[in-house]
Each structure stands twice: as structure tokens, then as C-alpha cells.
């Protein structure tokens, strides 16, 4: 989501109706069949006012007009799309706190999919990730409150709270026969957005978990620190998005010309193109982009743009489909609208909103079956065999022990631990079918040079 600030001048209902009436004939002449005429607008405003008056006079309980209008506005915004909303005094104040101060959260990104509150992705290393929340989980209840009819903003408000406090999520998960409950302890969310590892000597693996302000810098440093790299895997799985400029900047590292992404809306000010630049662009190194259903927004823009430029092979599962632009528009000093004003479009002109990015090669998550040829004696088996034979020959031999210095042991252990953080082993690859396939595809690109633009 892109947040901007715009002032709205709120006029009284009377002046609105008067203006609509006075401009009626002119607007009718210029309107199209898909637009409301001034007469239609006037009738709609009058109808709303009449119904409001009837409720105030006839409803069984006393009602507050301001509350009624606020509820009507919330319903209006919710019916536009799942991201637009009216923020009353409390909601707008909460937004200010969330953007300026620290708060406890779960580290979970959610969206609406076919009317259901759905987990886009848990962020790596956060409470939700550690608790086992998965992309695609549908949240039925937050503590004891059902999410049916709940807006995204309302659900996020419930999930945020004081650090070290608990929350219970009741969820539906694919292939689970019954709803599952997961208890999560809120915490201050601190995210590392770029993880870098190597696979063999030729492949650089870069996992971008979210698009914060340090993504482009992190990827640039990773490439500089691995000059022998012959191919790159960009892993955007479970990446819910983030800053647009970082998404554009990341694509710009690998593309030297063309429109990376554009946004188009009704207002001309929202029609913007973000273009690539030739300076320092790497157009030669083969790339594989890895995505899944938890890849959304900025990560979809990067994967889709690299795909449209024929700069990358996209592997994995279809992405979430979040490609709209929201701005926050204050109404006075204490209330605001969060309104969808534009949609993102990829270089080919396609939109990702509700469509997502379809991989070039679809690979589902899971493990790879690994079998060894039983006809041949492996080196480790041969070593054991020889050791047992030597023991038979020299049954009375004295076992020689070698003393290892404590510092040396610590050093070796530390080195092994560091290697585990920076190197992906064959064993780890076979536990991740999508990554294993990506590596195989990238090696083919390296060999055939098809990664060159």
C-alpha cells in the first residue's frame, strides 16, 4: 500500500444538493451511460437523507446521527473493495500510532480472498512464523470474534496489541479435516528483509522476505560479495510486499530499458510510469524467480516484470494477486478515508489485481524423493567396511586418541554453524522441491546461456 496525504473539503449536504441541482442540465449533457447524471446523484442524496430521517424517527431505540453516518460510510467503503475503508476518530488515531511508534504484532500479512480473511504470508522469524501459520490459511476467528464480515483493518487491529500478550487464531487449512487453533504470543516485529546463501560455487540464493527500505542495497551487496556468481535465485515466497520504490529498484538492477510497472487510476495525478535505467544494470546473469501463493504486491511486481522482460524464469505456484494502490485522505483532523485510487500494470500491460502472476514452470511445495543406487558400494560404506576388516586383523591394537584443543573445537563448531547460515546443502535442497527445481533450471540456463537478454 502506498500512503499519501490529501485534504478533502467537506461541504454540507445542502450545498451538495444545491450544486447538483444547478449543474444538472450541464452534467446530463456530458455524462456517459456508465456515469451518474446530476439528477441521479440528487435523487440518491435525497433518498439517503430520507432513510436517515425515517430511522431517526421510527427506529425502536434512540440513535446517534453521527454514528449512523459513520456506519453507512464504512459499509459504503467496504463494498467498493476489501482495501478501501472509512476511518473514524479511533481508527485514524490507531493508524497514526502504528506508523509512528512501536506496537506488538504477529508478523502476519492478511488479505481478502473470495470474501474470506486469508493469510498472505507469515514473515520469517516472527511469532506467526514460529507458531506454524502458513500462507493460504483462512482465519475464522480471532480469539472469540468471528471474522465473517470483518474488514482487513478491523482484523489487523484485533491481532495487534501489547507485546508478550497471547492471541488465539482459529483457522481452516488446506488438507486439514477440522479447523485448527494456533496460540501466538505478540511481540515487537523486527524483520530481516534479505537473506543471502550460496548453492555450490556458481549459484547465489537471495531470499527477499519483505520490501523494506534496504532491499536494493542488500541485493547489491550480495552480488558484490559473490563475484564468481554465474546465476541468481530470487526467492519471493511468502513475501507480502512493501515499498514500491524498492521493488522498482530491484528490477532496475537487471533491466536497462522499458517501463517496469505503471499505475493507472481515474485521476491523472495517479497515472505514473516507473522506468528502468541503463546505468549499472546486469542484463547477462541468468535469474530464476521463486514465488508461491504468499507472494503479493511488490513481490508480484518484481517477479511479473522480470518475467515480462524475459529476464527471468518464474518458478513455483500462482501468486496472491494484490495489485492496487491505496492512499490515506484525511477528512478534517480526526478522520480519514483509505481509498483505492489506481491499479498496477506490468510491462506487458497485464494487471496482477485478483489475477496474480502465473509461473512459467509450476512446481508445488514438498520434498524431492532421493534414492541411491543399491548396486554400488558407496564411499562411506567402503570406509566402514575397511575399518571393520582392519579391526579383525589387529584385534589387539591399541586405540590411539588424539586430543583436540578446546579452542580449536569451538572454532570448528563456529565455522560449521556459520556455513549452515550461508550455504544450502544438497540435503536441504531435497527437502524443498521448489528450490531444487529452481536450481536445476538455473544450472540449465547457465549452461545454455539462455539467461542472457
The catalytic residues are 297, 308, 322
Give the integer Cα–Cα distance in Å for 304 and 310: 10
**Cell, residue 265:** 487510476
Give the integer Cα–Cα distance in Å for 292 and 269: 33
CB neighbour list of residue 447: distance below 8 Å, 6 or more residues apart: none
Cβ atoms of 167 and 183 within 8 Å: the answer is: yes
Alpha helices in 59-192 (DSSP H): 65-78, 89-100, 127-131, 152-159
Q: What own/partner pairs with CB < 8 Å and gap ≥ 24 does 99-104 have?
A: 99/3, 102/188, 103/160, 103/161, 103/188, 104/160, 104/161, 104/162, 104/163, 104/164, 104/165, 104/186, 104/187, 104/188
Q: What share of the chain is helix, strand, coil (3-state, %, to 5)?
A: 35, 25, 40
* Beta-bridge mates of residue 172: 138
**Cell, residue 312:** 527471468
Strands (E), 258-408: 259-265, 272-275, 287-291, 313-316, 324-331, 335-345, 361-362
Give the integer Cα–Cα distance in Å for 127 and 449: 42
The torsion angle over the Cα atoms of residues 384, 388, 390 and 392, rounded to 10 degrees, is: -170
Give the integer Cα–Cα distance in Å for 327 and 376: 65
Residue with cell 517496469: 260
Q: What are phi and psi of 72, to 5 degrees?
A: -65, -40
Strands (E), 186-333: 187-188, 194-199, 203-208, 231-235, 259-265, 272-275, 287-291, 313-316, 324-331
Residue 104, SS3? strand
Amino acid at each position: 500500500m502506498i500512503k499519501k496525504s490529501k485534504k478533502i473539503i467537506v461541504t454540507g449536504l445542502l450545498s451538495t444538493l444545491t450544486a447538483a441541482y444547478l449543474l444538472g442540465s450541464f452534467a446530463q449533457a456530458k455524462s456517459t451511460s456508465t456515469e451518474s447524471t446530476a439528477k441521479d446523484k440528487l435523487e440518491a442524496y435525497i433518498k439517503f437523507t430520507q432513510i436517515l430521517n425515517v430511522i431517526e424517527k421510527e427506529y425502536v431505540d434512540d440513535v446517534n446521527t453521527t454514528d449512523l453516518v459513520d456506519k453507512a460510510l464504512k459499509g459504503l467503503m467496504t463494498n467498493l473493495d476489501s482495501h478501501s475503508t472509512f476511518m473514524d476518530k479511533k481508527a485514524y488515531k490507531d493508524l497514526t500510532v502504528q506508523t509512528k511508534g512501536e506496537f506488538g504484532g504477529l508478523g502476519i500479512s492478511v488479505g481478502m480472498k473470495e470474501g474470506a480473511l486469508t493469510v498472505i504470508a507469515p514473515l520469517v522469524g516472527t511469532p506467526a512464523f514460529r507458531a506454524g501459520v502458513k500462507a493460504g490459511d483462512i482465519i475464522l476467528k480471532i480469539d472469540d470474534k468471528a471474522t465473517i464480515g470483518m474488514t482487513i483493518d478491523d482484523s489487523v487491529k484485533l491481532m495487534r496489541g501489547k507485546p508478550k500478550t497471547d492471541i488465539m487464531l482459529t483457522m481452516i487449512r488446506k488438507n486439514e479435516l477440522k479447523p485448527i487453533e494456533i496460540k501466538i504470543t505478540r511481540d515487537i516485529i523486527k524483520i530481516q528483509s534479505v537473506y543471502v546463501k550460496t548453492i555450490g560455487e556458481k549459484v547465489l540464493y537471495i531470499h527477499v522476505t519483505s520490501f523494506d527500505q534496504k532491499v536494493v542495497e542488500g541485493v547489491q551487496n550480495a552480488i558484490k560479495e559473490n563475484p564468481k556468481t554465474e546465476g541468481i535465485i530470487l526467492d519471493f515466497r511468502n513475501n507480502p510486499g512493501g515499498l514500491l520504490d524498492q521493488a522498482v529498484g530491484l528490477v532496475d538492477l537487471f533491466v536497462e530499458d522499458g517501463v517496469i510497472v505503471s499505475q493507472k487510476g481515474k485521476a491523472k495525478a495517479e497515472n505514473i510510469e516507473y522506468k528502468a535505467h541503463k546505468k549499472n544494470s546486469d542484463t547477462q546473469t541468468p535469474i530464476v524467480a521463486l514465488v508461491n501463493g504468499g507472494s503479493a504486491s511488490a513481490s508480484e511486481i518484481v517477479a511479473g516484470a522480470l518475467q515480462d522482460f524475459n529476464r527471468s524464469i518464474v518458478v513455483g505456484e500462482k501468486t496472491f494477486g494484490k495489485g492496487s494502490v491505496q492512499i490515506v485522505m484525511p477528512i478534517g483532523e480526526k478522520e480519514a478515508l483509505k481509498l483505492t485510487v489506481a491499479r498496477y500494470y506490468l510491462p506487458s500491460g497485464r494487471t496482477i489485481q485478483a489475477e496474480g502472476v502465473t509461473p512459467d514452470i509450476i512446481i508445488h511445495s514438498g520434498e524431492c524423493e532421493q534414492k541411491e543406487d543399491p548396486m554400488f558400494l558407496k564411499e562411506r560404506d567402503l570406509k566402514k567396511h575397511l575399518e571393520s576388516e582392519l579391526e579383525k586383523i589387529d584385534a589387539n591394537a591399541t586405540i590411539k586418541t588424539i586430543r583436540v584443543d578446546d579452542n580449536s573445537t569451538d572454532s570448528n563448531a563456529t565455522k560449521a554453524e556459520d556455513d549452515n547460515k550461508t550455504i544450502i546443502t544438497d540435503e536441504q535442497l531435497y527437502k524443498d522441491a521448489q528450490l531444487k527445481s529452481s536450481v536445476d533450471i538455473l544450472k540449465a540456463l547457465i549452461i545454455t546461456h539462455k539467461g542472457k537478454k
